[in-house]
Chains A and B, each alone.
Chain A
């Protein structure tokens, strides 16, 4: 399963262009989508789920062009977890998933088996008789993910699936997505760089409706090599001065001052040492470079 996006533009009625002549190819496996708020990630996912029609450009799934006539064929292959979703509050988890499975056209018995399997995988089995309204935000998110997996889609689109989950659950969900991605495509959109670093090999970085980067994670990190520095400063006043000049990726207060991790094209004019970049550093580097 591969998705090809060519010269895609989405302009809303209020003339705001959310995606601007974007090109991308999404291969098999977990593909990360990273970008600041308003970068166009959700709009892109809405196009990929056929919720939104592009203003211009083309999208195809395994050679099948996204167009009105092909939508039913495409929609059957997709599973989707939107960013904000409020599943039926008056239904229990089991009822809700059976209902969603039925809507998706999954045969009843098969649907029950899959529900049982995914509830176990997401540690929700003991909560299956609880009403949706009784669940915590993280649990609701997990149920949302299970509903997206029920029709065993070839193309799974998940918009911030780990929001509201505790660290243990995040790891479990990430592993579930990696297992699921075998011979399938999973588009994983998030703000949490750490999550992408744990599950993706390939990713795209979006900013203002365009792709700043699309390719392997290693390449992205490599591009930032030699541009990440750590320096120790005596006090907060000095740190504030540095913050004005450079992109800071982290800041730690310690007994002997402040330790700052900064991104700079050239070696800063202060006492600092180069360090190995993380994905987060690379993301900040590439965003800053394009800005």
Chain B
């Protein structure tokens, strides 16, 4: 079943555009130091996650398959959506890890750790980046899927998601929301490796993910 869901939710064209996106990002987004990679990647990867996941269920609506899905039990329908989300999130997570490596390959960033100006090793930085990305990708992916289901239109899901992205990924968002910003990882004080205040933002993302997961059955039931 999971293999079938993979074929449905991860067609070749989707992987191709996502891979092209991270290649282009790692080529054009200039960085000097390695600690900037996470900052450079978090917000663009959120957009990729939104576009990637918006059609998780709306593809059933546009193809009219949702009329058949409605005859199936809610449990099976939700399990199918859940599996598709997991498959897509794993792909996005793998792409972010590859993207991180591509910044090294294309831009040869300098390491503050090697220069003795930071206590955080490259591996530690990479590990923290992965933790932050899991939460970021999950949040923006599930958000666009939820909104797309609500409006029964993937573009409406992406559009609303981008509006929130613009608000939070801004100077206003940085100042007002501070550590509670959805992009708290990108806005963190990168010079202070002991400052983990940005985790509040990620915990908020996780809580919102739980809330959205709870809302999903109601939206699917109501909107089909």
Q: Are B224 and A51 in contact (CB under 8 A)?
A: yes
0/1 string, B43-80, CB within 8 A of A gives 1: 00000000000000000000111011111110011001
Task: Indicate whether A80 reaches chain B with its CB closer than 8 angstroms.
Answer: yes
Contacts of B224 in A (CB 8 A): 51
Q: Are A103 and B80 in contact (CB under 8 A)?
A: yes
Q: Are B68 and A82 in contact (CB under 8 A)?
A: yes
Q: Which of A88-96, A223-231, A233-241 contacts B (4 or more CB under 8 A)?
A: A88-96
Q: Shortest distance in angstroms between B164's beta carbon and chain A's nearest beta carbon?
A: 28
Which of A72, A86, A91 interacts with B64 by CB under 8 Å?
A86
Shortest Cβ distance from B68 into A: residue: A80
Q: Are B64 and A84 in contact (CB under 8 A)?
A: yes
Task: Indicate whether B4 reaches chain A with its CB closer than 8 angstroms.
Answer: yes
Q: Are A105 and B72 in contact (CB under 8 A)?
A: yes
Which of A51, A88, A98 interacts with B70 by CB under 8 Å?
A51
Q: How far is the CA of A82 from the CA of B61 in the complex (A)?
A: 12
Contacts of B76 in A (CB 8 A): 102-103, 105
Q: Are A49 and B64 in contact (CB under 8 A)?
A: no
Q: Shortest distance in angstroms between B152's beta carbon and chain A's nearest beta carbon?
A: 13
Task: Indicate whether B214 reaches chain A with its CB closer than 8 angstroms.
Answer: no
0/1 string, A51-86, CB within 8 A of B gives 1: 100000000000000000000100110111010111
Contacts of B63 in A (CB 8 A): 85-87
Task: Indicate whether B1 reaches chain A with its CB closer than 8 angstroms.
Answer: yes
Shortest Cβ distance from B63 into A: residue: A86
If the complex has contacts A51-B224, A72-B73, A103-B80, are A46 and B67 also in contact, measured as CB distance less than 8 A? yes
Q: How far is the CA of A103 from the CA of B66 in the complex (A)?
A: 12
Contacts of B8 in A (CB 8 A): 88, 90-91, 99
Q: Are B72 and A86 in contact (CB under 8 A)?
A: no
Which of A49, A75, A95, A100 interacts with B7 by CB under 8 Å?
A95
Task: Indicate whether B116 reaches chain A with its CB closer than 8 angstroms.
Answer: no
Q: How far is the CA of A99 from the CA of B224 in the complex (A)?
A: 19
Q: Are B71 and A95 in contact (CB under 8 A)?
A: no
Q: How far is the CA of A255 from the CA of B177 in the complex (A)?
A: 86
Which of B4, B64, B73 interacts with A99 by CB under 8 Å?
B4
Q: Are B1 and A49 in contact (CB under 8 A)?
A: no
0/1 string, A95-120, CB within 8 A of B gives 1: 10011101111000000000000000
Residues of A within 8 A of B (CB): 46, 49-51, 72, 75-76, 78-80, 82, 84-88, 90-91, 95, 98-100, 102-105, 147-148
Known: A49-B71, A85-B65, A99-B1. 10 other contacts (CB 8 A): A50-B70, A51-B67, A82-B67, A84-B64, A86-B63, A86-B65, A90-B7, A90-B8, A95-B4, A95-B7
Residues of B within 8 A of A (CB): 1, 4, 7-8, 11, 63-65, 67-73, 76-77, 80, 224
Q: Which 5 A-B pairs have the closest CB atoms?
A: A86-B63, A103-B72, A75-B71, A85-B64, A99-B4
